[in-house]
Amino acid sequence: MAPRTIIPINEGWQFGRTDVEEASFLPVSQFPTNVHLDLLHHKLIPDPFIGKNELDVQWVGEVRAWQYRTSFKTPKIASNEKAILAFDGLDTFAEVLLNDKKILETDNMFIPERVDVTALLNETDNQLVITFDSAYLRGWERVEKIPSHKWGTWNGDYSRLGVRKAQYHWGWDWGPTLLTCGPWKPINLEIYESRVADLYATVTVDNSLDSAKVVLHATTEGKASKVRFNLSLNDTALSETVDVTKEGAAEATFNISNPELWYPVRYGKQPLYKATATLLDGDDEVDVASKKIGLRKVELVQKPLKDQPGTSFFFKVNNTPIFCGGSCWIPADNFTPRITKEKYQNWIKLMVEGNQSMIRIWGGGIYEDEHLLDACDEQGILVWVDFLFACGNYPTNPEMLQSIEREARENVKIMRHHPSIVIYAGNNEDYQFQESEGLIYKVEDKDPQSWLKSDFPARYIYEHLLSEVCNDLVPETFYHYGSPWGGKTSSDPTVGDIHQWNVWHGTQARYQDFDKLGGRFVSEFGMEAFPSIRTIDALLPKGRRT
């Protein structure tokens, strides 16, 4: 049995409009990419971050459809192998044709897709065409199809709520409206008979911190019958070979005495064990998957307080209470394909140098890149992950719920090995929106099906659907219904977490009162300030400084 072969489909790509007769197709600027980056590369739009250029590029998101296309050679494929086209991310409404045959339709930029194309490949050359519809136009079509829903948002417009796409693309109070589209993550052609489809670890650290149990789990495809698991750190290496079950599962348990534990920065070191699963056909290595994991014990402490109302809300790592001073993270660029590994590493390094210890990945962006999470693992920054819902009342039609569940499962599987992740939260400020708009929320109602019939049906997403996904895939990691959330009103400072914006926003309290505006855990707050002169110089058109 031959090893799995992965061939990047990253060359020869061209893009163009579909609504213009005889439209010319131009080479892309890079791959992965999006339409704004490619238009910028060919100087067909001005830089939207300069002056008021943002207003002059709004037409890009309103074009009915943009198309990307390329060709690739057919590799050698044995009779017992299959060919899979793997799309890590298509933004968002995409129709994919291979050699003039439709192989895929997508409507969720966060779901990776895999398509068996073994029978569709030509003998020599293949044509791959991806057409991206306007998310803005398709979003409004979805709004019109559900007139009974109480549509409402605090940022962007209603069309974003029915589209599983980065919500900040519709604009936010901190950034521009740039509704882009395109193949924003890698596309690969995989040739194999068997493969490791998934590898993850469940880690249990004893209360004494003197021992740890690590269970490595692998999911496989194909006929290869054994998996060799390895767990190593420096000169220590453990190994076990096990049979694959008929369901394609394999696991091995390693008991470690005196484990080297992972700690947040300034509380200890960040050792990362290497976990490897090697798929075997006899003595032949067919496929290998590896992840870096950290051994740590995490608790979110929410207990009644003495002589004070409410409950505590703080994290303990390896029995040590942690001060979670940090930042909320919005995407590092409106155009994520151009964010480099080095940029992610430098941002996290800056957090460490600023004595921060936690980052909250905000719910209006994306499930963040592995390079960001790797940097947090390596540098000791704790991670709070919001699921991607923000400042609105989301619909819950069956197709939407099905897409959301698949999205959540796929992305939790991708993220769950990171020791830095200590909490998942269902949304950003959607409970605040519910309170502000007077949408119905009955605390005593515990029936998820009845929530779907209310005017705040998204409660079903946060308190049932996502909760079940996390209980299934990451039961050892705390799931929080939202941010903020505490079980009472979202602004109650005595329970859960709160977002505190009342100094320059909201009640516009005096800055001298900041010490009185705290809560059990303030997961978002800030102060308006002018940017540096260097930033202003960068965004002003030339000659416009005065």
User: The sheet that has 113-116: what strands, in order across it?
Assistant: 5-8, 187-192, 82-87, 113-116
Q: For residues 375 and 345, is the Cβ–Cβ distance under 8 A?
A: yes
- Which residues lie closer than 8 Å to 396 by C-beta, 6 or more apart? 452, 457, 458, 460, 461
Structure tokens at 453: 């019939």
Q: For residues 419 and 383, is the Cβ–Cβ distance under 8 A?
A: no
- CB atoms under 10 Å from CB of 312, counted, come to 16
Coil, helix or strand at residue 29 = coil
Tell me the pairing of strands 478-480 and 421-425: parallel
HEC string of 357-413 equals CEEEECCCCCCCCHHHHHHHHHHCCEEEEECCCECECCCCCHHHHHHHHHHHHHHHH
- Point out the catalytic residue in the list 221, 251, 429, 463: 429
Tell me the pairing of strands 187-192 and 249-257: unpaired
Q: For residues 251 and 164, is the Cβ–Cβ distance under 8 A?
A: no
28: left (phi over 0), alpha (psi -120 to 50) or beta: beta
CA angle 68, 54, 508 (to 5 degrees): 130
Q: For residues 434 and 393, is the Cβ–Cβ distance under 8 A?
A: yes
Q: Is 22 a catalytic residue?
A: no
Q: For residues 392 and 434, is the Cβ–Cβ distance under 8 A?
A: no
Structure tokens at 80: 């017992």
For residue 32, whether the previous peptide bond is cis, meaning omega lies within 30 degrees of 0, is yes
The amino acid present at 358, given as its one-letter code, is M
- Which residue numbers are catalytic? 429
